[in-house]
Structure 1
Amino acid sequence: MSVTKVATEQEFTELLKKDGLLVAHFMADWAPQCGQMNDVITELGKQLELKDVRFCIVPAEDLSEVSLKYKIAAVPTFLLLRGGQVVERVEGANAADLTNKVKTQAAKASLVSCTPTASTPEQDLNTRLKKLINSSKCMLFMKGSPDAPRCGFSRTTIELLNKLEADYSSFDILSDEEVRQGLKTYSNWPTYPQLYIDGELVGGLDILREMDASGELSSMLPKKQKLEDRLKMLINKAPLMVFMKGDREAPRCGFSKTMIGILNDTGCM
């Protein structure tokens, strides 16, 4: 999934009109952390591969009117928008927080996209639940969100997953009563939270504690990618790797332009 580079206010307005979730990165070329976060959203786009989730880069200083409208005070700042309305906001280069919120909103977008219409006879609730469960490799159904759990069991589960450095998404069952009641029957599990891995129910907090004590849980959980591992992956992506401002077709600073010129002259590019 490509990341759209927004050049004008009109382009941004057109993106807002499209269905689904829009993740907008308000950034500046002079801020190195913005470049790092561009890599994060590019990787997120590859992981999600959902038609109803889109990513864009907005030059905050060039589009000052847009930045003013959405009260962008610093870069990087991320807005998650649906229907032109901000549903989540992440300020700063917080890759973990951004990833979790994007995956959570993507799951909700998937759920909304398959909501039954009047012409559809009760679009099989189980189909909706299955799609939601499989929207992430590791999916937690809880009360509240990882940042603001709404019960002690959910809070303890979040602490356990964070301790194990798990890469997971979550869904607030308090936000959708149909999902809350339907999942109890679907999973044959009457309480929350519930953790799914690869679409299969692992269990609730008591089961997770037992699996953690035995060491089994850690080996099952997908892990957050460490910065060092991400950098190694990027460095080894090609025999010759250039980290620059802009790209080879459109360098964004004099040093980068000169470097590309040298590489082109020597036949390395």
Structure 2
Amino acid sequence: MLFMKGNPEAPQCGFSKKVVNILKEENVKFGTFDILSDNEVREGLKQFSNWPTFPQLYCQGELLGGCDIAIAMHESGELKEVFRDIVLEMQKSGELRKVLSEKGVIIQKETLEDRLKRLVSSSPVMLFMKGNPDAPKCGFSSKVVNALKEEGVTFGSFDILSDEEVRQGLKAFSNWPTFPQLYYKGELVGGCDIVLELRTDGALKSTLSE
């Protein structure tokens, strides 16, 4: 939701126009409210958000910021990640399916293979492990997490203990029977032994940044 001066077709200030262009470039569907049309809303929002200027961009009821923050998040890629994470959360909760169904969108059930392909590619470096990076549930997972952190590698993770379908499916999908499993750009790198060997050889970081 964008509180702006004017509307997307006719912004009434340069800052509002910049944010509108950013959202359009990110292919985000958004609602707007022209704060010039209601002074009570205009003044009330300043106190509500503790943000004195407009435009103001909200996501799921939370203030993201104004023009400068929207531009910075857009340039860093963070804005795209915020919207992507929201869609993923809606997808996990079933809310996305509900919203699309209400709009008459026909949804085909995602196959396990499609789901696994999406998961292994959900982050450039993706670790399927027992537990999470802050609380690994096995020694092998802990060793891989530590190796990645010590090499300064940014990575996503998935707790295979939380989803038996993914846990069993990945064994066949990757033809690799154990966990953790580390992927780079959707391709399997290997398990704990291979990761530690790459780190010992000084090739882990370069392997995950080619």
Q: Taking structure 2 as the reference length, what is the TM-score of the superposition?
A: 0.56
Gaps of 5+ in 1: 18-23, 30-34, 56-80, 84-107, 224-269
Aligned length: 154
Cα RMSD after superposing both structures: 4.4
- Counterpart contact for 2:160–2:166, Cα < 8 Å: yes
For 1:16, the equivalent position in structure 2 comes to 60
76, 85, 89: which one pairs with 1:43?
Answer: 76
For 1:165, the equivalent position in structure 2 comes to 152
Q: Secondary structure at the match of 1:123?
A: coil
Quick one: which amino acid aligns to residue 152 of structure 2? E
- Counterpart contact for 1:193–1:204, Cα < 8 Å: yes
**In structure 2, what is the Cα distance between the partners aligned to 1:215 and 1:157?**
15
Question: 1:53 aligned to 2:85?
Answer: yes
**In structure 2, what is the Cα distance between the partners aligned to 1:178 and 1:112?**
21
TM-aligned CA deviation for residue 209 of structure 1: 1.0
Kindly report structure 1 stretches of 4+ aligned residues shifted beyond 6 Å: 111-114, 119-122
* Alignment map for 1:182-201 (pairs within 5 Å): 182-201=169-188
**In structure 2, what is the Cα distance between the partners aligned to 1:192 and 1:147?**
17
CA separation of 1:142/1:44 partners in 2, compared to 1, >3 Å: closer, same or farther? farther
- Counterpart contact for 1:168–1:222, Cα < 8 Å: no
Quick one: which amino acid aligns to residue 171 of structure 1? F
**In structure 2, what is the Cα distance between the partners aligned to 1:153 and 1:208?**
10
**In structure 2, what is the Cα distance between the partners aligned to 1:206 and 1:197?**
16
Q: Greater share of helix residues, 1 or 2?
A: 2
Gaps of 5+ in 2: 1-21, 34-41, 50-55, 98-105
For 2:6, the equivalent position in structure 1 comes to none
TM-aligned CA deviation for residue 41 of structure 1: 7.7
CA separation of 1:82/1:46 partners in 2, compared to 1, >3 Å: closer, same or farther? closer
